[in-house]
Amino acid sequence: MNRLNSYIHKYRSTLLNAGLVALVFFGALSFQTRNMLATDGQVAPELRGVTLAGQPYDLKDAGARPALVYFFAPWCRICAASSGNLNRLRRWRDVDDIEIVAVALDWGREEEVRDYVERHDLKVTVVLGEASVARQWRIQAFPSYYVLNDEHRIVRRDIGYSSQFGLWLRAWLI
């Protein structure tokens, strides 16, 4: 009986510790994203600009399909660590399935963005964003993500590194 009580105590202790870790994690996540646009189904702001390839871009042209909007800065090391996950998401989700767009912010020269895209071999549309885009989308840290449903309403948001699985899960749960 002593042995059974010992196992029960260890099990409860482990559950309590896991619960506390989860509480701290989700509390920090909530704190981090508190100033971002709400995920209450509001329509996402406009996203227009010029792509790195020199073509006009308008998120509205994505039509009635979900979108993942990834905001990055070319100097951001966390962005560099997570950018490959965008390519993997693109391989897993067809172009007709989901719009994936990376928006460069806080850059000085177009060449900075081009070097970043080439260095990380980004295979998604890259838009050259301006300060007004950062204000409209409430971007205060990099990378920042918004997941939009097929009506381009905001359903998820996040700041910081997102694993390959994390991006896939966010995009799959639309």
Q: What is the CATH number of the domain that holds 127?
A: 3.40.30.10
**Is this model's pTM higher than 0.75 or not?**
yes
Confidence of residue 40 (pLDDT cuts 50, 70, 90): confident
Mean pLDDT of the chain: 86
Q: Are strands 144-148 and 67-72 parallel, antiparallel or unpaired?
A: antiparallel
Percent of the chain with pLDDT over 70: 86
CB contact set of 151 (below 8 Å; sequence gap of 6+):
43, 64
- The pLDDT of residue 58 is above 90: yes
Query: What are the b/e assignments for 77-86, b being 16+ CB within 10 Å?
Result: ebbbebbebb
Q: Using 50, 70 and 90 to split pLDDT, how confident is the model at 19?
A: low
Number of structural domains, the chain? 2
User: In this structure, are 44 and 15 located in the same domain?
Assistant: no
Q: What is the pLDDT of residue 170?
A: 76
pLDDT of 26 above 60: no
Mean pLDDT of 35-59: 91
pLDDT in tens, 107-120: 999 999 999 999 99
Residues 99 and 131 in one domain: yes
Residues 116 and 79 in one domain: yes
Same domain, 148 and 69: yes
- Residue 157 pLDDT more than 60? yes
Q: Are residues 95 and 122 in the same domain?
A: yes
Q: What residues make up the domain containing 108?
A: 37-172
Let me know whether 42 and 27 are in one domain: no
Shared domain check, 74 and 127: yes
CB-CB neighbours of 11 under 10 Å: 10
Say if residue 72 is in the same domain as residue 96: yes
My answer on whether 24 and 48 are in the same domain is: no
Confidence of residue 172 (pLDDT cuts 50, 70, 90): confident
